[in-house]
Amino acid sequence: MMAPRPMRADARRNYERLLATAREAFREHGPDAPLDDIARRAGVGAGTLYRHFPNREALIEAVYRDDIERLCAGAHQLLAEHEPGKALELWMRDRLAFVLQKRGVAHTLKAAMDRDSETFAYCRSLMNDAAEEVLRHAQEAGAVRADVQPRDLLLLGHGVCVAADEDEELAGRLLSVMLDGLKPQPA
| Tens digit of each residue's pLDDT (9 = 90 or more) over 93-145 | 999 988 887 665 666 666 666 677 788 889 999 999 999 999 999 999 999 99
**For the whole model, what pTM was predicted?**
0.83
Q: Note the pLDDT of residue 156.
A: 94
Mean pLDDT, residues 1-14: 74
Q: Which tops the pLDDT comparison, 114 or 157?
A: 157
In this predicted model, what pLDDT tens digit does every residue of 22-68 receive, in sequence order?
999 988 888 889 999 999 999 999 999 999 999 998 998 899 899 99
Residues whose CB is less than 8 angstroms from the CB of residue 179 and which lie 6 or more positions away in sequence, other chains included: 88, 89, 92
Three-state DSSP class for 44? coil
* Domain boundary assignment for the chain: 8-54, 60-182
CATH 3.40.50.1000 fits 8-54, yes or no: no
Average pLDDT in the 4-14 region? Answer: 80
pLDDT of residue 142: 97
Q: How many CB atoms lie within 10 A of CB 169?
A: 8
From the list 95, 98, 64, the residue with the least C-alpha distance to 78 is 95
Residue 15 pLDDT: 94
Instruction: Report pLDDT for 30.
Output: 82
Alpha carbon distance 38, 20 (integer Å): 10
Q: Where does the pLDDT of residue 180 fall: very low under 50, low under 70, confident under 90, or very high at 90 and above?
A: very high
Distance in angstroms (rounded) separating the CA atoms of residues 92 and 104: 19
Q: What is the CATH class of 60-182?
A: mainly alpha
